Amino acid sequence: MFHREGYQIIALTLILTAGIIVLSDNFIENRTIFYGIAAVVIVLLILILQFFRNPERTAPNDSAKIVSPVDGKVVVIEEVYEPEYFKDKRLQVSVFMSPLNVHVTRYPGGGDVVYSKYHPGKYLVAWHPKASTENERSTVVVKTEKFGEVMHRQIAGALAKRIVNYAEANDTVAQGGESGFIKFGSRVDIYLPLGTKIDVALNEKVKGASSIIASS
């Protein structure tokens, strides 16, 4: 299954792949060169298909758990000051996604969306300390039953040039439901109340909607 955000790019890539192979077959007599060109465009097609894959995930639907919003690796677990919405200290957990990861963003917890805002910005590498406040990003806050207000922030990276955010204020959302999509490499920050029990470690690989980030 592929994500709807990739339909247009996948269709264009399929057309270009087929066109390049047909033209190469007709105009390039050297079979070694032809097979090399065909191999390159097919590999690129496979990479595009892999990037936009959208595997079915079943969240625990447990109000006492916070799940990872994305696939990737945990790169930050620290207490920070959050200046945009909470304006106080929060526990931040960040998950970095490589271009090979699934890039669907999912709600870490179910509840009511109380804040959703898009910010244009820079395209610093996603692990840069200032990426959370200076890069293109979207911020979503969901009021959950057990954790109160939980924020997750999609952050564009050096390769990501478009963030898609589906969350709107006053929506009621389910844990693990689709919150958005980030195209081509990025990260997602989660902001939790201080004292929250964190169930992951630095450099641990996690899966969106499946891996437990925190519990109450």
Active site residues: 186
C-alpha to C-alpha distance for 185 and 84, rounded to whole angstroms: 23
C-alpha to C-alpha distance for 176 and 208, rounded to whole angstroms: 7
Q: 101, exposed or middle or buried, with CB in 10 Å at 0-12, 13-18, 19+?
A: buried
Contact yes or no for 210/107 (Cβ under 8 A): no
Q: How many CB atoms lie within 10 A of CB 54?
A: 16
C-alpha to C-alpha distance for 130 and 80, rounded to whole angstroms: 13
The encoded tokens of residue 91 equal: 């526990």
Strands 72-82 and 88-97, by their bridges, are: antiparallel
DSSP string, 25-55: HHH---HHHHHHHHHHHHHHHHHHHHHTB--
C-alpha to C-alpha distance for 146 and 175, rounded to whole angstroms: 13
